[in-house]
Amino acid sequence: MMEDSVLFSVKLSLWVAAVATVFVVLVGVTVAFFLARRTFRGKELLDVLFTLPLVLPPTVTGYYLIVVFGRNGLIGLPLFEWTGLNIMFTWYAAVLASFVVALPLMIKTTRAAIESVDESLILASYTLGHSEWWTALKVILPMAKKGILAGTVLSFARAMGEFGATLMLAGNIPGKTNTMPLAIYSAASSGDRAQANTMVLLFTVIAALFLYIANKLNKRVLS
Q: What is the DSSP string of 42-85?
A: THHHHHHHHHHHHHS-HHHHHHHHHHHHSTTSTTHHHHHHHH--
- Beta-carbon count within 10 A of 214 CB: 21
The contact set with another protein (CB under 8 A) reads: 118, 120-121, 123-131, 138-139, 142-143, 145
Q: How far is the CB of 143 from another protein (least distance, A)?
A: 6
Sequence-distant (6+) residues with CB within 8 A of 63 are: 168
Q: How far is the CB of 147 from another protein (least distance, A)?
A: 13
Q: How far is the CB of 197 from another protein (least distance, A)?
A: 46
Sequence-distant (6+) residues with CB within 8 A of 49 are: none
Cβ atoms of 108 and 102 closer than 8 Å: no
Q: How far is the CB of 106 from another protein (least distance, A)?
A: 21
Q: Which is nearer to another protein, 48 or 124 (CB)?
A: 124
Per DSSP, the three-state class of 90 is coil
Q: How far is the CB of 38 from another protein (least distance, A)?
A: 16
Query: Smallest Cα–Cα separation from 206: which of 173, 149, 159?
Result: 159
Q: Which is nearer to another protein, 142 or 174 (CB)?
A: 142
DSSP state of 117: S
Q: Which is nearer to another protein, 65 or 144 (CB)?
A: 144
Q: Which is nearer to another protein, 131 or 197 (CB)?
A: 131
Q: How far is the CB of 221 from another protein (least distance, A)?
A: 13
Q: Which is nearer to another protein, 72 or 120 (CB)?
A: 120
Tell the burial category of 9 from Cβ atoms under 10 Å away from its Cβ (0-12, 13-18, 19+).
buried
Task: Give, in order, the Cα–Cα distances in Å from 196 to each of 55, 171, 183.
Answer: 28, 19, 8
Q: Which is nearer to another protein, 7 or 121 (CB)?
A: 121
Q: How far is the CB of 69 from another protein (least distance, A)?
A: 40
Q: Which is nearer to another protein, 27 or 141 (CB)?
A: 141
